[in-house]
Amino acid sequence: MRVVITDDASAVANASAEVLCRQLVTAPASVLGLATGSTPVMLYKELVSRYQAGQVCFAKAKSFNLDEYVGIDPSHPQSYRHFMQQHLFDQVNIDPVATQVPQGLADPKIECERYEAAITSAGGIDLQVLGLGSNGHIGFNEPTSSLASRTRIKTLTEDTIAANARFFEAHEQQPTLALTMGIGTIMEARQILLLATGEHKAKAVKAMVEGPVSAMAPASVLQFHQSVTLVLDVAAASLLEAQDYYHWVEKMRAQTT
Ligand code: F6R
């Protein structure tokens, strides 16, 4: 695992945008795996501004989002499809038919099989962007998820529902189920880029990087992936024991590249 510790959320967005842009410049027809939530909002903002400055092009790219709420219309303001349109897809030149988000209104079993098949027929995911739940989830693979799981329906934990309640109006029925890429699906991405910011993520970051691999800390499975970059701010990295080493490695890399 490469652990990059930056000053703040804006530096996390810049460093992550750099990785994504490098991917698209090197391989314009890349298949991207994308995440929603608060953490990648600044990353998408940075990508939009680099696109507007002519530094990156999405014309040949394809994308697959990690997850979507079950029973939610794509036009609902809290659907992950809506989030992606608003923060990225409507603002860059990605082909609308090349963007996939699981369909929350479809028959879940059929939709999960379709999604897996679509990823396979696109040639697999080249670069998967992940956020991190404060309970250690990736996608909506909540603690105790099978580390070999595929795209499927998951019941959200009460913690996750509470964490996401901020996005829903008081009168709205908040979804408790989601379709999510499985951990096995995520682990097949050729490269993984995980972003985490804020002190509320520090415990999950510690478990992911320095804890034992365990279904109770789903992100810890990334220790088995050969190409993972974690981009953290100082608050999210604050509980890591080997911080000096991670900084040292980055210093050495900077001198050799
Ligand atoms: C979103 C997703 C989730 C979030 C995680 C962190 O597509 O898959 O795993 O990345 O819940 O969310 P934020 O960034 O809102 O803290």
Predicted pLDDT at 91: 98
Q: Which atom of ligand 1 sits closest to the CA of residue 198?
A: 16
Range of the domain at 111: 2-256
To 10 degrees, what angle do helices 41-52 and 9-26 make? 50
pTM for the whole structure: 0.97
Return d(Cα 238, Cα 201) in angstroms, integer: 9
Residue-wise pLDDT for 234-243, tens only, equals 999 999 999 9
Backbone φ, ψ for residue 230 (5° rounding): -105, 125
| CATH at 129 | 3.40.50.1360
Going across the sheet that includes 2-6, the strands are: 2-6, 228-233, 191-196, 127-130, 31-34, 62-65, 99-100
Each residue's pLDDT tens digit, 101-125: 999 999 999 999 999 999 999 999 9
Res 87: pLDDT: 98
Does pLDDT of 169 surpass 90? no
Q: Please, which residues bridge with residue 2 across strands? A: 229
Tell me what percent of the residues of the chain surpass a pLDDT of 70: 100
Mean pLDDT of 243-255: 96
Ramachandran area for residue 76 (φ above 0: left; ψ -120 to 50: alpha; else beta): beta
Q: Which residue owns the Cα nearest ligand 1 atom 9?
A: 139
Q: Is 135 a catalytic residue?
A: yes
**Does residue 210 carry a catalytic annotation?**
no
**The predicted structure's pLDDT at residue 19:** 98
The β-bridge partners of 195 are 231
Contact residues of ligand 1, CB 6 A cut-off: 35-39, 66-67, 131-133, 137-140
Q: What is the per-residue pLDDT for 90?
A: 98
DSSP H or E stretch at residue 2 = strand 2-6
Residue 245 pLDDT = 98
**Average pLDDT of span 176-197:** 98
> What one-character DSSP code corresponds to residue 165?
G
* Closest approach atom of ligand 1 to CA 160: 11
Atom of ligand 1 at shortest distance to CA of 65?
A: 7
Task: Read off the tokens for 106.
Answer: 């479809």
**Side chain identity at 202, as an amino acid letter?**
A
Among candidate residues 20, 55, 48, 18, the one with its CA nearest the CA of residue 34 = 20
Give 74's Cβ-side CA count (13 Å radius): 9
Which residue has tokens 């699906």?
Answer: 185
Q: Which of 12, 16, 36 to mutate to test the pocket of ligand 1 (most atoms within 8 A of CB)?
A: 36
**What residue's CA is closest to ligand 1, atom 3?**
139
Q: What is the pLDDT of residues 51-95, one digit of tens each?
A: 999 999 999 999 999 999 999 999 999 999 999 999 999 999 999
Tens of pLDDT, residue by residue over 16-49, are: 999 999 999 999 999 999 999 999 999 999 999 9
Q: Which of 46, 111, 126, 142 is catalytic?
A: 142
pLDDT score of 30: 98
Q: Which of 46, 65, 67, 111 is catalytic?
A: 67
Domains of the chain: total:
1
Protein residue with least CA distance to atom 4, ligand 1: 131
**Residue that wins the pLDDT comparison between 54 and 170:** 54
Nearest Cα residue to atom 1 of ligand 1:
36
Catalytic entry in 65, 137, 141, 233: 137
